[in-house]
Amino acid sequence: MKKVYLDNAATTPLLPEVISSFVSSLETTYGNPSSTHSFGRSSRALIENARKSIAKQLHCTTSELVFTSGGTEADNLILKNAVYHLNVTHIISSKLEHHAVLHTIDFLASKNTTISYVKTLPDGTLDYDDLEKLLQNSTTEKTLISLLHVNNEIGTILDLDKVIALKQKYKALFHTDTVQSIGHFDINLVDLDIDFLAASAHKFHGPKGIGFAFFRKGTGIQPEILGGEQERGSRAGTENTPAIVGMEKALTVCLSNLEKDLHYLKELKHYFMSELKNKIPSVKFNGVSGDLNKSTHTVLSVQFSKDLPMLLFQLDLKGIAVSGGSACQSGANKGSHVLQSFLNDEEQQNTSVRFSFSKLNTQDEIDYVIAQLLNVV
């Protein structure tokens, strides 16, 4: 049976170069990075060289990067720091965010932080006029804007320039979850006035369980995890040296081939959309996920014209891996909070599937998926 993996927004396969660097570190550099002997110093050198490489590629300084267990921890670290240590009393976010942000700001709301949500337009994009109104009404409070760069379910791309202009106009702070964009887009932190961002290696062909938070110099970082002085006192716990090495390798490979991969994936996504509309004319693309200028090249959210409760299971039997929404909610049976925020009641009754691509996917795989969809739909 043919195997086709189209759930890359959930996690991506490790690249061969990443596996090699990861295994090499496991075999040869096993010292505790906090130890002062040669074994420890070797591990420390690998970690700091990786930090330098990542900082160079993002155009920031090494002191602005904190290695974490992934995007969820990075979001928590940033949001809680903003409230507990930077005196933020108002957070402006949206209903489209990943639960790593939504659940954290719910927690902060219980601690008397004011939370406001930007309106979602009928196409699943944000109402930037409403964002400005919220900022206008918050001039007496220290405010943090927290908005996803690329939505993990429908692929919508945030207009960073527009948000940054508003952030500067109203003297707010700006945090963006870039878990779906780091490694897939050029992020230049010299040109982009972003105060905080979160990233996760397994979304760009790196290992699971490793990521980083970016704190703009001058904002300060206080640890949420206590027990040691690792990460310059910002996060206690022995660093995962092989995973950090693997993450750096993955980011380097992805960014060195960025333009080529971007072109390839846009063509692949366009081909998939064209074949779907040609073979199954009743399908719709949720939000702006069918617009290659407004959505990422890695995600397509497809709505079928009826309820197909067994569709994911039937595709899985054919060796095809896709998602019905965010994989972080798999098994919860709660539906997609993102789709619920802008689809009407009738559309919500139809089955929606997220297809997400990587540079490892091929047109032959797309043809196979289309053929199987025709059989089950």
- Cβ 213 vs Cβ 68: under 8 Å: yes
**Which tokens is 10 given?**
């959930």
Going by C-beta distance under 8 Å and a sequence separation of 6 or more, which residues neighbour residue 225?
Answer: 235, 236, 237
Q: Following DSSP, what letter does each residue of 112-128 receive, concatenated?
A: T-EEEEEPBPTTS-B-H
- What's the rounded Cα separation, in Å, for the pair 140 and 169? 14
Residues 6+ apart with CB under 8 A from 292: 266, 269, 270
Start-to-end CA distance of the chain, whole Å, equals 20
Q: How far apart are CA 302 and CA 276, in angstroms?
A: 9
Is 328 assigned a catalytic role? yes
DSSP per-residue string spanning 214-236: EE-TTS----SS-SS-TGGGTS-
CB atoms within 10 A of CB 3: 10
Strand ranges for the chain from DSSP E: 4-5, 65-68, 90-94, 114-118, 143-146, 173-177, 196-200, 211-215, 284-285, 299-303, 320-321, 352-356
198 vs 27, 28, 80, 259, 302, CA distance in Å? 29, 30, 13, 23, 27
Cα gap 275→143, rounded to integer Å: 45
Q: Which of 164, 328, 370, 377 is catalytic?
A: 328
Which of 320, 325, 330, 316 has the alpha carbon at shortest distance from 351? 325
The answer to whether 269 and 256 are in contact (CB under 8 A) is: no
- As annotated, the active-site residues are 328
